[in-house]
Chains A and B, each alone.
Chain A
Amino acid sequence: MKFAIIEFPGSNCDHDCHYAITGALGHQAEYVWYQENSLAGFDIVILPGGFSYGDYLRAGAIARFSPVMDAVAKFANEGGPVLGICNGFQILTEAGLLPGALMRNVSMKFVCKNIYIKTETSDSFLTHDIDKGEVLGVPVAHMEGRYVADQNTLESLEDDDRVLFRYCDPSGQPSDKTNPNGSIDNIAGVVSAGRNVAGMMPHPERVCEEIIGGVDGLKIFQSMISYLATV
């Protein structure tokens, strides 16, 4: 099982993702430079967090024109699993591989803190091993994390069980108080209609060992691995 971790100019969570997969879980991962144009031989693709292209114009807007994004789109269109974390999520929405958009936080502040998310469905490669309703402690660190989408998109996300996570309190209750960025309906992560492209603002790769504050992120990486074993 081999993970591709895409490196854009300005990616900065690539090594954390690599460590989570190889160090914490003992699987294979390789960095793929943004100028590459093939993802042959990989089973799963991760777009890590960071500030690709300095967030110029809009976060993720310029990265989507990198040569590697044609390969990511091809991989996704052939059903391959693709996960975007934070800036990776922003890039996937800009590329049209996920619906909606990520806007400036409602507080106008960069939000960097430990928060809780409630798992809304087990029916995705990202939440395969996680029970619906399970609460995970995962940090966020972003300036543009406010998820927005038009009414039709929101309805289809809800109707098709495509909201993966919502910001909540430790008991799993979502509210305005537990919403770190003003996202509509507390949405923290979504999956595509084909259920193979997912995006989330929180950083699971930052909670993969007790010594750095928790292991809830491992459940997400472990889900991807056990999902891949079933296909």
Chain B
Amino acid sequence: MCRKKRMKASVTVTLKPGILDTQGQAVRHALLSMNGRQITDVRVGKLIEIELDEDDEVAAMKIVTKMCDKLLANPVTEDYDIKLLK
């Protein structure tokens, strides 16, 4: 029997606290103009979905972590969070 190897990684990249998010501020202004007076702050991040041919969670986490460190996030300005979905 052939088992399909399939894993999906959902990577959320956000700006580090303290880094000014100009995009978030522009969105916040737009939301305020829609009468969202309760809104105190908005920060915009990125969601990157990756499909992997891998069924071992530890191995998948290792691969995606390396991708984040080298390309998907800039360590100077961004943090990332990885969620694996089988």
Which of these, A105, A148, A182, contacts B76 with CB under 8 Å?
A148
- In the complex, whether A228 has a CB less than 8 A from a CB of chain B is no
Contact digits for B23-60, partner A, Cβ 8 Å, 1 yes 0 no:
10110000000000000000000000000000000000
Alpha-carbon separation in the docked complex, A182 to B72 (Å): 24
Q: Are A105 and B22 in contact (CB under 8 A)?
A: yes
B74 in the interface (beta carbon within 8 A): yes
In the complex, A157 has a CB within 8 A of chain B: no
B74 engages A150 (CB within 8 Å): no
Selected contact of A148 from candidates B26, B72, B77, CB within 8 Å: B77
**Which residue from A57, A108, A149, A182 sits with its C-beta under 8 Å from B23?**
A108
User: In whole angstroms, how far apart are the Cα atoms of A99 and B74 in the complex?
Assistant: 12
On whether the beta carbons of A94 and B74 are closer than 8 Å, the reply is yes
Interface residue? B19 (CB, 8 A): yes
For B61, the chain A residues whose CB sits under 8 A away are: none
A104 x B77 contact (CB < 8 A): no
| A93 beta carbon closer than 8 Å to chain B | yes
Interface size range on B against A? 10 to 19
Q: Is A31 an interface residue (CB 8 A)?
A: no
- B-side contacts of A61, CB under 8 Å: 71, 74
The CA of A150 and the CA of B19, in the complex, are separated in Å by 10
Task: Say yes or no: is B20 at the interface (Cβ < 8 Å to chain A).
Answer: yes
Inside 8 A of A150's CB, which chain B residues have their CB?
76
Q: Which residues of B have CB within 8 Å of A148?
A: 19, 76-77
Give the distance to chain A from B30, nearest Cβ to Cβ, in Å.
Answer: 12
Query: Contact at B22–A101, with CB atoms within 8 Å?
Result: no
- Cross-chain contact B22 with A104 (CB below 8 angstroms): yes
Residue of B nearest to A101 (CB): B76
A149 near B74: Cβ-Cβ < 8 Å: no
Q: Which residue of B lies closest to A182 (CB)?
A: B20
Closest to A150 in B: B76
For A106, give its contact among B20, B76, B77 (CB under 8 Å).
Answer: B20
B interface residues (Cβ-Cβ under 8 A, vs A) = 19-20, 22-23, 25-26, 71-72, 74, 76-77
**What is A's interface to B at a CB cutoff of 8 Å?**
57-58, 61-62, 65, 93-94, 99-101, 103-108, 146, 148-150, 182
